[in-house]
Amino acid sequence: MSLERMILLIVGLVVVASVLLAVYVNLNWLWLTGLMGAHLIQAAFTGLCPVVALLKRLRMPQRPGFG
Protein backbone atom coordinates (compact mmCIF):
# COMPACT_ATOMS: atom_id res chain seq x y z
CA MET A 1 0.00 0.00 0.00
CA SER A 2 1.35 3.42 -0.92
CA LEU A 3 1.71 6.39 1.42
CA GLU A 4 -1.05 8.26 -0.39
CA ARG A 5 -3.55 5.44 0.00
CA MET A 6 -2.55 4.92 3.64
CA ILE A 7 -3.34 8.58 4.37
CA LEU A 8 -6.79 8.16 2.81
CA LEU A 9 -7.36 5.04 4.90
CA ILE A 10 -6.33 6.71 8.16
CA VAL A 11 -8.44 9.81 7.57
CA GLY A 12 -11.43 7.68 6.58
CA LEU A 13 -11.12 5.53 9.68
CA VAL A 14 -10.89 8.55 11.98
CA VAL A 15 -13.97 10.17 10.41
CA VAL A 16 -16.06 6.98 10.49
CA ALA A 17 -14.97 6.20 14.06
CA SER A 18 -15.83 9.69 15.29
CA VAL A 19 -19.26 9.61 13.65
CA LEU A 20 -20.00 6.20 15.17
CA LEU A 21 -18.83 7.41 18.57
CA ALA A 22 -21.08 10.47 18.21
CA VAL A 23 -24.09 8.30 17.38
CA TYR A 24 -23.56 5.68 20.07
CA VAL A 25 -21.64 7.47 22.85
CA ASN A 26 -21.81 11.25 22.86
CA LEU A 27 -22.39 13.97 20.24
CA ASN A 28 -19.22 15.74 21.38
CA TRP A 29 -17.24 13.23 19.28
CA LEU A 30 -18.32 15.20 16.21
CA TRP A 31 -15.64 17.73 17.19
CA LEU A 32 -13.08 15.14 16.07
CA THR A 33 -14.70 15.01 12.63
CA GLY A 34 -14.62 18.80 12.43
CA LEU A 35 -11.00 18.97 13.53
CA MET A 36 -10.05 16.37 10.94
CA GLY A 37 -11.76 18.43 8.24
CA ALA A 38 -9.99 21.59 9.39
CA HIS A 39 -6.67 19.75 9.37
CA LEU A 40 -7.26 18.51 5.82
CA ILE A 41 -7.90 22.08 4.67
CA GLN A 42 -4.78 23.30 6.48
CA ALA A 43 -2.67 20.48 5.02
CA ALA A 44 -3.92 21.25 1.51
CA PHE A 45 -2.58 24.81 1.77
CA THR A 46 0.61 24.24 3.78
CA GLY A 47 1.60 20.67 2.89
CA LEU A 48 2.27 19.97 6.57
CA CYS A 49 0.79 16.79 8.01
CA PRO A 50 2.12 14.82 11.00
CA VAL A 51 0.72 11.55 9.62
CA VAL A 52 2.68 12.00 6.38
CA ALA A 53 5.87 12.65 8.35
CA LEU A 54 5.29 9.50 10.41
CA LEU A 55 4.56 7.34 7.36
CA LYS A 56 7.67 8.67 5.60
CA ARG A 57 9.75 7.69 8.65
CA LEU A 58 8.25 4.21 8.38
CA ARG A 59 9.46 4.21 4.75
CA MET A 60 6.08 3.74 3.11
CA PRO A 61 6.44 3.62 -0.68
CA GLN A 62 5.24 6.76 -2.46
CA ARG A 63 3.54 7.13 -5.83
CA PRO A 64 3.02 10.30 -7.84
CA GLY A 65 -0.69 9.56 -8.36
CA PHE A 66 -3.57 7.41 -7.19
CA GLY A 67 -3.75 5.26 -10.35
> What is the pLDDT, as a whole number, of residue 67?
42
Q: 64 lies in a domain? A: no
Q: What is the largest CA-CA distance in the chain?
A: 39
Of the pLDDT bands very low, low, confident and very high (cuts 50, 70, 90), residue 65 is low
Helices within 1-67 (DSSP H only): 3-24, 30-46, 50-57
Does 49 map to a domain? yes
Residue 67 lies in a domain: no
What residue type is assigned to position 2 of the chain? S
Is residue 62 one of the residues assigned to a domain?
no
Residue 64: DSSP 8-state: S
Per-residue model confidence as pLDDT tens digits over 32-58: 999 999 999 999 899 888 888 898 899
- Give residue 34's domain range: 3-57
Within-domain flag for 11:
yes
Mean local confidence (pLDDT), 8-34: 96
